[in-house]
Chains A and B, each alone.
Chain A
Amino acid sequence: MHRISRGSVAVIIGITGILCAAGQPAVSGRAVGEITPSFAVLDVTGPYKGKPICYVCEYKGAPSILAFFQDIGDETAGLVIKLNELAQQETRLKMVAAIIAGPERRSWLEEFAQEKGIKIPLVVFRRGKDDVAMKLYKLNAEAKNTLLVAVNRKVSANLTNVRAENFGEVVEAVSKVLGTKLR
């Protein structure tokens, strides 16, 4: 019989662990059915520009999307444009896009919103990754984005690491909440 050394076993376990982790989708954000607690952000392009604001409180029980992005960039920009298009289709739908990275992203967001005609409020976490909202919303620092669809102050869909190619899942989740087929 062949004898397997302890070192070989450790290597096999390590490789298996890495492969399993790679196959797992990132878990981030409050789960379906959980409430959406109040959280304050710094408004960058919305109606309360320059002020702290809680959009969750303002939206009350309205159907909404709370979109959290780790940082700015082309991928975030593309998704925000898609979210903005979605918001224009249905006035009942409320939306806010929050950049976790923090207040130093303000100027980029202002320019981006102006250039692309973004109407949904773009906001930043006041204390970046140390903001209490990270804990409140169970956000994973490894996830590129976390999109929560909510109604009646409860999460009805949690979509993590959304890309342009699977944005249809967001549209589908929102359509379900609204009872209207969106494009």
Chain B
Amino acid sequence: MFGWESIAACFMVVRIIALTSISGTVLGQEALPEGQSDYPRITCEELKKLIDSKATDIVIVDNQPAESFDEGHIPGAISFPWVDQIKPPVKLPRNRMLIMYCPCMEEEDSIDMANKLKQFGYSNFKMLKGGWFRWEELKYPVEKKSPDGPINRTSQQWRR
């Protein structure tokens, strides 16, 4: 039969599991899962060529906050800011490659958004290597919000 020692040991195990779970949540190990990070990359030079050739099988997705997007973004990009939780409906096209970029050194925010978009059935992604910083560094063309109103602003909605 089980003795008091066995019951106490079981209680301790349950308590340790519960505490581990709580601390994991507090320190962000669960709320922001790592997910996939090895998405294929595309360089700014390659993307520039695609834009110049007026490629129609890609959509450039900007993950900066909307205010930053208004100040400057890659020509033709649509605004789809990083959020902690994507709210449906997501109206990004499903039949084109999504080229994602953010103002991050290692594409962190775009990778996180791609992982979240996978839950909505999206799977065709490429991450812009070096992101917005590299694009700026190369002094490639930049589009800004026109004084008359927003351009290409679709915030979680695609239209073209």
| CB-based contact A154/B84 at 8 Å | yes
A53-B136 Cα distance, complex, nearest whole Å: 12
Q: A62 within 8 Å of B by Cβ?
A: yes
| CB-based contact A136/B67 at 8 Å | yes
| CB-based contact A53/B67 at 8 Å | no
| Given A40-B133, A51-B133, A60:B31 Cβ within 8 A | no
Which of B23, B67, B81 is packed against the most chain A CB atoms within 10 Å? B67
For B65, the closest partner residue in chain A by CB is A37
Using a CB-CB cutoff of 8 Å, which residues 139-183 of chain A contact chain B?
Answer: 151-154, 177-179
Point out the residues of chain A lying under 8 angstroms from B83, CB to CB.
35
A19-B83 Cα distance, complex, nearest whole Å: 40
Point out the residues of chain A lying under 8 angstroms from B109, CB to CB.
38, 54, 57
What size tier do the contact residues of chain B reach? 20 to 34
For B132, the closest partner residue in chain A by CB is A40
A92-B26 Cα distance, complex, nearest whole Å: 12
Interface 9-residue window, one of B49-57, B97-105, B118-126 = B97-105
Q: B17 within 8 Å of A by Cβ?
A: no
Main secondary structure of the interface of A (DSSP, over half): loop
For B19, the closest partner residue in chain A by CB is A179
Q: B8 within 8 Å of A by Cβ?
A: no
For B22, the closest partner residue in chain A by CB is A179
Q: Mark B56-88, 1 if CB is under 8 A from A, else 0.
A: 000000011101100100000000011110000
Contact of A152 among B28, B105, B108 (CB under 8 A): B28
| CB-based contact B68/A48 at 8 Å | no
CB distance from A132 to the nearest CB of B (A): 5
Point out the residues of chain B lying under 8 angstroms from A132, CB to CB.
65, 67-68, 71
For B70, the closest partner residue in chain A by CB is A132
Contact of B28 among A40, A53, A62, A179 (CB under 8 A): A62
Interface residues of B (CB under 8 A from A): 23, 26-29, 31-32, 63-65, 67-68, 71, 81-84, 102-106, 108-109, 112, 132-133, 136
Q: Pick 21 A–B contacts, CB within 8 A, sort by A.
A: A38-B68, A48-B105, A52-B136, A53-B105, A53-B133, A54-B102, A57-B103, A61-B29, A61-B32, A63-B27, A63-B28, A132-B67, A132-B68, A132-B71, A136-B67, A151-B27, A154-B84, A177-B26, A178-B27, A179-B26, A179-B27
Nearest first, the 7 A-B pairs at minimum CB distance are A61-B28, A61-B32, A57-B104, A152-B31, A37-B65, A152-B28, A57-B108
